Structure 1
Amino acid sequence: MATVQVNGREIAYDRSGEGPPVVFLHGAGHDARAWRPQLDALSDAFSVVAWDEPGASRSGDIPESFGLADYADALAAVVESLELGPAHIAGLSWGGTVALEFYRHHADLVRTLILVDTYAGWKGSLPPEEVRARVEGTRRMLAAPDGGFDPTLPGLFAGDPPAAYVPLLDAMAAAVRPETLRTQLSVMAVTDQRDLLPTVSVPTLLLWGEQDARSPLAVARQFQEAIPDTELLVIPGAGHVSNLERPAEFNRAVRNFCQAHP
């Protein structure tokens, strides 16, 4: 583990390999460990970096007022500190929303975008009734006696979580801070990045689990129609957390895309 100091806040990250930089942004309730299969498999050709976003795992806490632009600026500080830019920026779910906001504010640091099972904010990608249901469901989960994050939340996987990663999922869930999830919940419920999508001018890969119930393929199609230079690759048999459910297919897609855009 290594760290970067950003505005007095410590941000932790894992790094492996040498070569063109690929930066992975995890989803809500996860941390850098979620990218272990990518750190292991892609480091032969790339400098692979996965952060613990502010408020996650080994990184410092965030204030309640921390917004999407603050995440983007923190990521910019990490990329600049490590001299990674312009980098391939890959984000899954909430991490993809952060990746888009990073592009909005720091496009010069982005070589390509890899958007994985993600959203243009919940408001920008989901019907209002679905957003309300997710807000209420997450609040109930956080108000439960254990107050914890469920790593097997319905829809995260096409089937049962991969047995090899269940200990990892449990460890990440145990490290979740409810206050961070509450902040992210508030942000996602009001975020609409549809205005940004047509302005994206870097090559963009949409990488989607075929059976993703959290961000269905209809959302991927919306991205595909809006972003000018984009391609959609669907991973058969994968749900929302496609990088853990089908790591071999996921890694092959990322490798091929990044090598096609050196």
Structure 2
Amino acid sequence: MELQIKQHSGFKYVDEGSGEVLLLLHGLFGALSNWQGVIDEFARDYRVVIPMLPVYDMPLTRAGITGLVEFVEGFVKTMGLNEPATVLGNSLGGHVALVYTLRNSARVQRLVLTGSSGLFEDSMGGSFPRRGDYAYVQERVAYTFYDPKVATKELVDEVFDVTNSNAKCLRIITIARSAQRHNLTKDLGRIQVPVLLIWGLNDTITPPLVAHEFHRLLPNSELHFLDHCGHAPMMERPQAFNRLLHQFLQQQVPQPTIGA
């Protein structure tokens, strides 16, 4: 299905399907299209909602993890998403999802993390990307995946356009440094909701050791690795990712409250 981007009260987002809400959060260089495989598979049975995070244009004074979490909180309120949702996050989106859960535990039913930051990551965002160097950007985008062919020309062109804007680059660096400072090691034990960790076995940005550490620190988590897969499993191994997500959602079905 072709993505239909909607706008409401200053927010841009995808909102497909109906039923229980799956709230999806993309990464620092990510886009709504990163979740295409999840939308196609799950919009038949769930309401799949994806806000476009303002990583390239938010005020510099608010550019960081806290500012992005506040943005998601505002989006959820504006959209009237009052029932607890399953929150999915990739890379920086996983980091935002974790902090959102810590601040809004009653609004989160389940959590799904894939290639999440929050403990350690090795990304392009820590230093100023080389402006006008297409080959360098192409190499770094390909570094995200196990199979470099997943880094399509369209994807590389998107990132290249971003790196040619000083204003956007400055925000990327500011947010990336905020994420590196905002380590969640001491906080993860407070998250009690069921957590699904889906990790690429060949992830070089948040390596498998990071996944094991998340699994150790999150008290109600399960961990699955996908082989021949890098930092964005929902893009590189969509069928395997969706199969694990289906299993998790079916196992963790909310129980109705029984009246006295």
Question: TM-score, normalization: structure 1?
Answer: 0.83
2:104 is paired with a residue whose SS is helix
1:142-182, Cα deviation, whole Å (9 max, x unpaired): x43359993652531112132xx725423542563323312
Larger Rg: 2
TM-superposed CA distance for 1:30, in Å, is 1.3
Is structure 2 residue 202 aligned with structure 1 residue 211?
A: yes
Question: Take 1:170 and 1:11, find their aligned partners in 2: how far apart are those partners?
Answer: 25
CA contact (8 A) 2:126 2:177 kept: no
1:50-108, Cα deviation, whole Å (9 max, x unpaired): 1210235xxxx211121312211211222233233311000001111011111121112
Q: Decide which of 233, 249, 253 is 1:258's aligned counterpart.
A: 249
Question: Take 1:238 and 1:89, find their aligned partners in 2: how far apart are those partners?
Answer: 22
Question: Take 1:152 and 1:30, find their aligned partners in 2: how far apart are those partners?
Answer: 16
1:237 alignment counterpart: 228
CA contact (8 A) 2:134 2:160 kept: no
Is structure 2 residue 52 aligned with structure 1 residue 64?
A: no
TM-superposed CA distance for 1:228, in Å, is 0.7
Question: TM-score, normalization: structure 2?
Answer: 0.84
CA contact (8 A) 2:6 2:13 kept: yes
Stretches of structure 1 lacking an aligned partner (at least 5 in a row)? none
Q: CA RMSD in A?
A: 2.3
Assess, with a 3 A threshold, how the Cα gap between structure 1 residues 170 and 45 changes in structure 2: closer, same or farther.
Answer: same
Question: Structure 2 matches for 1:108-257, cutoff 5 A?
Answer: 108-120=106-118, 124-125=119-120, 138-141=126-129, 143-145=130-132, 150=137, 152-153=139-140, 154-162=142-150, 166-170=152-156, 172-173=158-159, 176=162, 177-257=168-248
Question: Take 2:120 and 2:28, find their aligned partners in 1: how far apart are those partners?
Answer: 17
CA contact (8 A) 2:28 2:55 kept: no
Residue 194 of structure 1 aligns to which amino acid in structure 2? T
Residue 39 of structure 2 aligns to which amino acid in structure 1? L
TM-superposed CA distance for 1:249, in Å, is 0.7
1:95 alignment counterpart: 93
Residue 160 of structure 1 aligns to which amino acid in structure 2? P
Residue 254 of structure 1 aligns to which amino acid in structure 2? L
CA contact (8 A) 2:132 2:160 kept: no
2:222 is paired with a residue whose SS is strand
CA contact (8 A) 1:18 1:47 kept: yes
Residues 18-27 or 251-260, more deviating:
251-260
Question: Take 1:53 and 1:91, find their aligned partners in 2: how far apart are those partners?
Answer: 12
Q: Percent identity?
A: 24
Residue 77 of structure 1 aligns to which amino acid in structure 2? G
Question: Take 2:80 and 2:153, find their aligned partners in 1: how far apart are those partners?
Answer: 33
